[in-house]
């Protein structure tokens, strides 16, 4: 039995998220379909993380087990020809049997892209903001979230994680050409945690919420808000998955 690790990227615009579904088109569904065509066997992907509908990935990692003897070089080339245009296979390698894309990860990072320059051709790639963003001012807000906290009030109501405690190692914004990117690196993330962090931080930035709003949420991890703030999915990108190598 071989354990195959794949690193790939995708444009999430036309996907109903990462996890396989019976009716809707998903990233895992397309990957498993292509692998079945190539290897003539059913596989079940183990993924480093889930992404919501419309969310992109610059570095997604999955692994699966197979009895196939196909050389990896042939596998990568052949699978790339089967995969749809919105998925790009970056690397394929054989790993030890105990490797697990999800549980072996040491940390992950996301980037959220913002732009003040509204361009319809970027509408599926960034979140448009009503005014320009001053990164220095935004970073003063974001730094309140760095460290180990209970992020229970920064997740969707249907999040199934038992423990809301997570540790954010790095969080900051920076300018990238005509955009502002928010970088967040943590040991792991709760469901929609990044999108809620972005929306909550911007609400403080634009004076829609009080200055201590983020601290209030950290101090009250079980708080339930009507119309919980959440940023749209198209600005979010899974950026890095690290396994300590």
- Each residue's pLDDT expressed in tens, for the chain with a length of 245 residues: 999 999 999 999 999 999 888 889 999 999 999 999 999 999 999 999 989 999 999 999 999 999 999 998 899 999 999 999 999 999 999 999 999 999 999 999 999 999 999 889 999 999 999 999 999 999 999 999 999 999 999 998 888 888 899 999 999 999 998 999 999 999 999 999 999 999 999 999 999 999 999 999 999 887 766 557 999 999 999 999 999 86
Residue ranges, CATH 3.30.70.660, the chain? 107-242
245 is catalytic: no
pTM for this structure?
0.94
Spatial contact of 173 and 181, defined as CB atoms under 8 Å apart: yes
Looking at the chain, which residues constitute the CATH 3.30.70.580 domain(s)?
2-95
State the burial class of residue 201 (Cβ atoms within 10 Å of its Cβ: 0-12, 13-18, 19+).
buried
**How far is residue 9's CA from residue 17's CA, in Å, rounded to a whole number?**
13
CATH fold of 2-95 reads Alpha-Beta Plaits (3.30.70)
Beta carbons of 167 and 186 less than 8 angstroms apart: yes
d(CA 114, CA 112): 7
CATH topology for 107-242?
Answer: Alpha-Beta Plaits (3.30.70)
Which one of 11, 24, 52, 122 is the catalytic residue? Answer: 52
Element (H, E) at 34: helix 27-39
């Amino acid at each position: 039995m071989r354990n195959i690790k794949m690193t790939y990227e995708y444009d999430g615009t036309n996907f109903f998220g990462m996890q396989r579904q019976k009716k809707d088109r998903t990233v895992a569904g397309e990957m498993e379909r292509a692998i079945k065509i190539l290897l003539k066997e059913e596989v079940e992907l183990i993924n480093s993380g889930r992404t919501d509908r419309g969310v992109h990935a610059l570095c997604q990692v999955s692994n699966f087990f197979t009895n196939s003897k196909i050389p990896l070089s042939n596998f990568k080339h052949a699978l790339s020809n089967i995969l749809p245009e919105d998925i790009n296979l970056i690397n394929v390698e054989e790993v030890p049997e105990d490797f697990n894309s999800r549980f072996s990860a040491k940390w992950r990072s996301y980037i959220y892209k913002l732009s003040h320059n509204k361009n319809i051709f970027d509408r599926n790639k960034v979140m448009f903001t009503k005014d320009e963003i001053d990164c220095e001012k935004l970073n003063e807000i974001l730094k309140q979230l760095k460290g180990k906290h209970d992020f229970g009030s920064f997740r969707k109501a249907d999040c199934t994680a038992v423990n809301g405690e997570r540790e954010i190692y790095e969080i900051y914004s920076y300018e990238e050409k005509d955009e502002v990117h928010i970088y967040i690196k943590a040991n792991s993330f709760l469901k929609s945690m990044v999108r809620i962090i972005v929306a909550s931080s911007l609400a403080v930035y634009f004076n829609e919420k009080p200055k201590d709003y983020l601290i209030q949420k950290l101090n009250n991890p079980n708080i339930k808000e009507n119309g919980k703030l959440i940023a749209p999915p198209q600005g979010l990108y899974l950026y890095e998955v690290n396994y300590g190598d």
